[in-house]
Amino acid sequence: MTPRCSRRAMLGAATALGWVGRSARSAGSDAKPAVLGGEPVRRSAFPRWPIIGDEDVRALVDVLKSGCWYRGNGDRVARFEQQWADRLGSRHCVATANGTSALITALNALEIGPGDEVIVPPYTFVATINAVILQHALPVFVDVDPETFQIDASKIEEAITDRTRAIIPVHIGGAPADLDAVLEIARRRGLAVVEDACQAPLAEWRGKKVGTLGDLGCFSFQASKNLTSGEGGAVSTQDDRLYAECLSFQNNGRSGPGMPGIFARNGANLRLTEFQGALLATQLARLEPQSKTREENAAYLSEQLRRIPGITPARMYEGCTRNAYHLYMFRYDPDAFAGLPRSGFLKAMAAEGIPASGGYAPLYREPFLERALDSRAYRSIYSSARLASYRERLEFPGNERLCSEAVWLTQNMLLGSRADMDEIAGAIRKIQEHAGAIATA
């Protein structure tokens, strides 16, 4: 136990910095850190995910008993597509097996193929990049802005060549990328925009739902996502022709959603099941209130975290009118924590009962990219000079910074109470207070 005087001194310093809220006292920043054998700030679990209600059980049992398990003989997927389109304010929506297949469907609808270049941010889930590689197109990385964690739109233009066909802005963490800038560049340069909104259901840019502003928008309903059926996805579009292409592509290239039908184009079976369609409808009923809770808790948490030296929450663009908060993301500066490296901070947070992660590692250093570039297909499509210059440009300081400084909290942690947020902030303050001891332990 630290002597009392040090607590008073600490609280004095905290008051000077404007830290003192209920939590500064209740979390007991003077107490020994849990990682050094003290009491954790928190013992209870954060809200579990997914949330399962009786209506989810009924919906699934109804589908089960109906015997209509796929969209060819049921109507749950089609009903969900309509609901999701309505919720987004989108003209069309096509459900897919998952978010990866939503991206693949979108790129196929645009006929992105071998030789094409597609602009992507490096700070994303691997699926964004894999969708491009599966088309045998080149994913051209444009660095991210470490302040916002989003693609740095001011660097897009210099990455455009005469082979560029599309831009995939990823609304990472649930906050919109700078769509004003991305859409303006795309319009002027004649490029398609596929929004990767997999982490951003109900996020808004200037009052409009993301995923409805580009040519196509892609969503994921995978287990971790804010709206989930375990696996699942959707593509939204305002374009009748692109809609028909997507609908056809996810149904083995049939001319429509039904069976039989003529095989009008190439395609795959990427259909969502009726079980998932039914579950998404019941889960969707909770998405709006959940999103509201996440936003309110995140705003409250940001207010507290901004006062802690060395903790910098991700900045949102001025055009962001709603953040879906799939992740709560901030940057951690070890210099404000007596040199305690991020890994040590994360360990100390876990010990305090606050699970946090360091997020993505640099994707362009994972083996999959070089393996694709060195594949038979890529070597036959792209000249060795083109591949060599591509390899030379795989340097992204903004992304490197985020990969080493980011800390993520998951969306379910924002579904509880303000007291939960107090405990998160309290744990960080406690670790900061004892950072020297933790760093040298």
Ligand X SMILES: *Cc1c(COP(=O)(O)O)cnc(C)c1O
The span from the CA of 375 to the CA of 369, in Å, is 10
| Cβ neighbours for 195, distance < 8 A, ≥ 6 positions apart | 168, 169, 171, 177, 179, 210, 211, 213, 214, 216, 217, 218
In which element (H, E) is residue 7 found? helix 4-16
Nearer to ligand X, 98 or 432 (CB): 98
Q: How far apart are the first and last CA of the chain?
A: 16
Closest CA to 441 of 306, 326, 344, 337: 344
260: left (phi over 0), alpha (psi -120 to 50) or beta: beta
Nearer to ligand X, 231 or 423 (CB): 231
Nearer to ligand X, 35 or 403 (CB): 403
The residue annotated as part of the active site, out of 32, 209, 225, 430, is 225
Nearer to ligand X, 144 or 438 (CB): 144
The span from the CA of 209 to the CA of 176, in Å, is 9
225 is catalytic: yes
Q: Give min distance, CB of 192 to ligand X, in A.
A: 17
In which element (H, E) is residue 423 found? helix 418-433
| Cβ neighbours for 41, distance < 8 A, ≥ 6 positions apart | 27, 28, 34, 352, 353, 354, 423, 426, 427, 430
SS3 of 250, please? coil
Nearer to ligand X, 14 or 94 (CB): 94
Q: Give min distance, CB of 227 to ligand X, in A.
A: 11
| Cβ neighbours for 5, distance < 8 A, ≥ 6 positions apart | none
Tokens 């790129």 correspond to 107
Nearer to ligand X, 19 or 219 (CB): 219
Q: Give min distance, CB of 140 to ligand X, in A.
A: 17
What residue ranges bind ligand X (CB under 6 A)? 98-100, 124-125, 127-128, 170, 196, 198-199, 220, 222, 233
Q: For 61-97, give the DSSP string.
A: HHHHHHT--BTTT-SHHHHHHHHHHHHHT-SEEEEES
SS3 of 168, please? coil
Nearer to ligand X, 23 or 222 (CB): 222
Q: Give min distance, CB of 26 to ligand X, in A.
A: 35
Q: Give min distance, CB of 231 to ligand X, in A.
A: 6
Q: Which residue is nearest to ligand X (CB)?
A: 99
Tokens 């928190």 correspond to 42
Q: Give min distance, CB of 99 to ligand X, in A.
A: 2
Nearer to ligand X, 76 or 171 (CB): 171
Q: How many helices and strands (H and E) does the chain possess?
A: 16, 13
Q: Give min distance, CB of 201 to ligand X, in A.
A: 11
Q: Give min distance, CB of 289 to ligand X, in A.
A: 22
Sheet holding 406-410, edge to edge: 311-313, 327-332, 406-410
How many other C-beta atoms are found inside a 10 Å radius of the C-beta of residue 49?
17
The DSSP bridge pattern shows strands 192-196 and 216-220 to be parallel
Closest CA to 195 of 293, 103, 304: 103
Provide the annotated active-site residues. 225
